[in-house]
Amino acid sequence: MARYILRRLAFLLVSLALASVVLFVLLRLLPGDPANALTSVGAAPEQIAAARHSIGSDRPLPEQFAHWIGQLASGDLGTSFISSLPVGPEVGARLRVTVPLTLAAFVLAVLIAVPAGFLAAYKRRTWYGALLNGVSQLGIAVPVFWLGMVLIAVFALNGGWLPAGGFPQDGWAEPAEAMRSLVLPVATIALVMSASLIRYVRSATLDVLGSDYLRTARALGSSFGRAMWRHGLRNAAVPVISILGIELASTLLGAVVVESVYALPGLGSLLATGIAQHDYPVIQGVLFVSTLAVLLIGFAADILQRIIDPRLRGRLSGGAR
Amino acid sequence: MNITKISLYSGAALLGLTLTACGGGAGGSGAAGGAYDKNATVNIGSLYEPQNLDNTAGGGQGVTEALNGNVYEGLFKLTDTGKVEKLLAKDYKVSPDGLTYTFTLRDGVTFHSGKKLTSEDVKYSLEKVLAKDSQSARKSNLEVVKSIATPDARTVRVRLSKKSISFVYNLSYVWIVNSQAKNLKTSEDGTGPYRLRKWTRGSALALDRFAGYWGGAARNKQAVFHYYKDATALNNALLTGAVDVVTSEQSPDALDQFKNNQNYKVSDGNSTTKLLLAFNDKAKPFTDVKVRQAVSSAIDDKKLLESVWGGYGKLIGSMVPPTDPWYEDLTKVNAYDPARAKRLLAEAGYKKGFTFTLETPNYDPHPIAATFIKSQLAKVGVTVKINTITPDQWYTKVYQNRDFTATLQEHVNDRDLVWYGDPNFYWGYDNKQVTQWVDQAEQASTTAEQTRLLKKVNRKTAEDAASDWLYLYPQIVVANSKLSGYPVNGLNSQFYAYDIKKG
């Protein structure tokens, strides 16, 4: 297991290095010029050249890349072209919105989906089993922004119980206000995420319910609950963990839509602004940090699966069978 | 969006394509009277977050909105009616040849850092706008400055290389900054009625009343600009009381919910933002005046305005909005007349019509306008291919490389008729006579003379259909009815917060 973790860690570092090269190069291939965001109509060619020079986008690409990697190595994400603010603290500030938002939504989604998915499988022949299944199908079809608008209309505009959007300017220094402003966004993401999770939990449970080992355990005298607990849960957990890892990672960046609907200053909105302005240091900073997060989540999911299922330990990655 | 405001970037960050020109506007909507809370916090909702806090370093439209007049002041200011008034300049004299301006500074002015204002700071601030790396939209207007002298701490003497009647007006855009201040992209040191408390990127910018202000204190204790990327989210914030006022309503569909609600007041102010169908006057077939006139006559601007803004906005027949001194109603020139359009096309040799590509920025109202134009021109046999582009592409392809036949764009500023005098501007209108008039107008000795010449420019460019001016935007401010004293015209995106009273 220790050897596996080392190999998996090396894999992570190589992926990260490759990802940073790819993301640096791809960004530069995009049409457009960051100097455009700094100049105004009526700008003379010299003004545009001066803007390029001031942000260093007139230097050769390899030099720019070496500069960026050098900064990264010393833990510095660089400085925004447009605002001149250091990117690191900026990303940190946005993470203080996005991470609580994502984690809370994730936990809530799991709390909804695991019991509901199990029930939908175990009681699939009852009316409420079928209803759960139907509702989750419907939930998958609902666009996040639409659900957000509906929740705002009901709970903020009509009810007036919760803010329609925004985040306190002083952030978590006003904990009650900060939490209140996250209630609707968390609910929005959790509802949509749990809809698809329910389906995975349901199908994993169905696999287990139809398995030979469960029947054997029952034949040997285990109660249903005990057989499920000792044998079923572990087996069902392995594929679900893969999905959970992917869902968590995609929510981290996918929160951009929800952040826009609720006017939250999160990582996604920073990325969107950065892209619109060709603010390379900001885009690189956000994508580097989120790539790292996604790789770490995958790493944790793989390790967790191998702890649960010893049969996987020979394989480098993956786990859904 | 617009070319000054060119909100290029969906909502928030604008490519600050600030077109030069003028503006002004402080003041406020009447209402008021009565008691108000001197220590209120006014929450202002906006779609235009500054990109940074320096207007000579590409801060964009948002920085003008939040900081102009609130945090920074110029030697002069523009009032809500577009008039130039003395602000940090107590007085000024112009030499008989019109080339030397001597400014006397107001006494007792201190920067937020506590330092006293001196002539050195004025010199520094002007030089900052003129510096090589300056991104100021006023740079080209102020290049007539030849030298700046500071005979004493309260006197600044500026010599110009040629006469410039707009010089004082242009100075209202030059922030007077403490010459020793550092990091102006992320902090400030101005002389205005507010000081910056905190800027949280992506969220809000808070201003606190400055106790050491030289003039009358702000009528509220704190003004906070809250930034939204989405017009619906902004309207929701107003509906739930999270903001008290929206600086510029961009979503006409949302107006009904405020119009018929006594808790809100909708003001329809004077805007200077024009929607243009800008031809490339150097590209075929728009090199031909008749083709430009034909296209202008083939489009029913009134119907377009109706469908985009309902009852709001105005029709214009040229680049000049009614608030500019050289305004004349030219809506009759090249007015809607499809029969005339067909006749002109035939005369120009396009009896069977022609096909052209319309470069269309991807944000409202351009796509709607493009579709409308396409259907209108189809009726006179002209085929429009719509090419949707991002603001950044517009800037590179159209503005810099002139690689276009026709485009749609908003031009925000007042007094921007003068661009037709520059044959190198992106639309390529090149008329020696017009260039000369514009030049003479700038060197005129009296505003009457300036106005007379620019009226000629106005009429000539309108008759030539240099561009097709589709309509003038409305400037709509929606506020909670407890609020009064806010600017309603927001000319050139300024939003003076210091007179706002919250009841």
Domains of chain B: 274-472 (3.10.105.10)
Answer whether A33 sits within 8 Å of B392, measured CB to CB.
Answer: yes
Among A37, A48, A169, the residue with its CB nearest the CB of B198 is: A169
Of A32-36, A91-95, B214-218, where does mean pLDDT reach its minimum?
Answer: A32-36
Mean confidence (pLDDT) of chain B:
89
Cβ count within 10 A of residue B317: 20
Average pLDDT over residues A125-152: 88
| Residues in contact with B467: Cβ distance below 8 Å, sequence separation at least 6, in sequence order | B276, B277, B278, B279, B319, B427, B429, B461
Of A165-179, B47-61, B63-77, B85-99, where does mean pLDDT reach its minimum?
Answer: B47-61
Question: ipTM of the assembly?
Answer: 0.81
Residue B222, H or E segment: strand B222-227
pLDDT band at A1 (very low <50, low <70, confident <90, very high): confident
pLDDT at B10 over 50: no
Instruction: Please say whether the beta carbons of A257 and A144 come within 8 A.
Output: yes
Among A43, A164, A278, the residue with its CB nearest the CB of B237 is: A164
Mean confidence (pLDDT) of chain A:
86
| Residues in contact with B16: Cβ distance below 8 Å, sequence separation at least 6, in sequence order | A37, A38, A39, A40, B4, B6, B51, B58, B59, B60, B61, B135, B137
pLDDT at B306 over 50: yes
pLDDT band at B33 (very low <50, low <70, confident <90, very high): low
Quote the pLDDT of residue B78.
Answer: 87
Answer whether B133 sits within 8 Å of A50, measured CB to CB.
Answer: yes
pLDDT at B5 over 60: no
Answer whether A40 sits within 8 Å of B52, measured CB to CB.
Answer: no
d(CA A230, CA B246): 60
Among A43, A149, A269, the residue with its CB nearest the CB of B202 is: A269
User: Which residues in chain A are contacts of B230 at CB distance < 8 A?
Assistant: 260-261, 263
Average pLDDT over residues B12-22: 33
Token pair in block for residue B207: 């201003």
CATH hierarchy code of domain A87-316: 1.10.3720.10
pLDDT band at B32 (very low <50, low <70, confident <90, very high): very low
Of A15-24, A47-56, B152-161, B373-382, where does mean pLDDT reach its minimum?
Answer: A47-56
Q: Which of A27, A40, A146, A181 to mutate to test the interface with B (most CBs of B within 10 A)?
A: A40
Quote the pLDDT of residue B25.
Answer: 34
3-state secondary structure string, chain A? CHHHHHHHHHHHHHHHHHHHHHHHHHHHHCCCCHHHHCCCCCCCHHHHHHHHHHHCCCCCHHHHHHHHHHHHHCCCCCECCCCCCEHHHHHHHHHHHHHHHHHHHHHHHHHHHHHHHHHHHHCCCCHHHHHHHHHHHHHHHCCHHHHHHHHHHHHHHHCCCCCCCCCCCCHHHCHHHHHHHHHHHHHHHHHHHHHHHHHHHHHHHHHHHCCHHHHHHHHCCCCHHHHHHHHHHHHHHHHHHHHHHHHHHHHHHHHHHHHHHCCCCCHHHHHHHHHHCCCHHHHHHHHHHHHHHHHHHHHHHHHHHHHHCHHHCCCCCCCCC
Give pTM, 2 decimals.
0.84
pLDDT at B7 over 60: no
d(CA A73, CA A70): 5
Among A82, A261, A262, the residue with its CB nearest the CB of B58 is: A82
Quote the pLDDT of residue B14.
Answer: 32
pLDDT at A319 over 70: no
Give B182-197 pLDDT, tens digit per residue: 889 889 999 999 999 9
Answer whether B395 sits within 8 Å of A36, measured CB to CB.
Answer: yes
Answer whether B229 sits within 8 Å of A263, measured CB to CB.
Answer: yes
User: Which residues in chain B are contacts of A101 at CB distance < 8 A?
Assistant: none
Give A158-202 pLDDT, tens digit per residue: 888 898 888 988 889 889 999 999 999 999 999 999 998 998 899
Answer whether B224 sits within 8 Å of A169, measured CB to CB.
Answer: yes
Quote the pLDDT of residue B34.
Answer: 67
Quote the pLDDT of residue A314.
Answer: 67
Q: Which of B198, B392, B413, B427 to mutate to test the interface with A (most CBs of A within 10 A)?
A: B392
Among A36, A93, A171, the residue with its CB nearest the CB of B392 is: A36
For chain A, the structural domain boundaries read 2-73, 87-316
DSSP state at residue B397: I
pLDDT at B245 over 50: yes
Over its C-alpha atoms, chain B yields an Rg (Å, rounded) of 23
Average pLDDT over residues A93-100: 92
pLDDT at B311 over 70: yes
The better pLDDT of the pair B137, A7 is held by A7
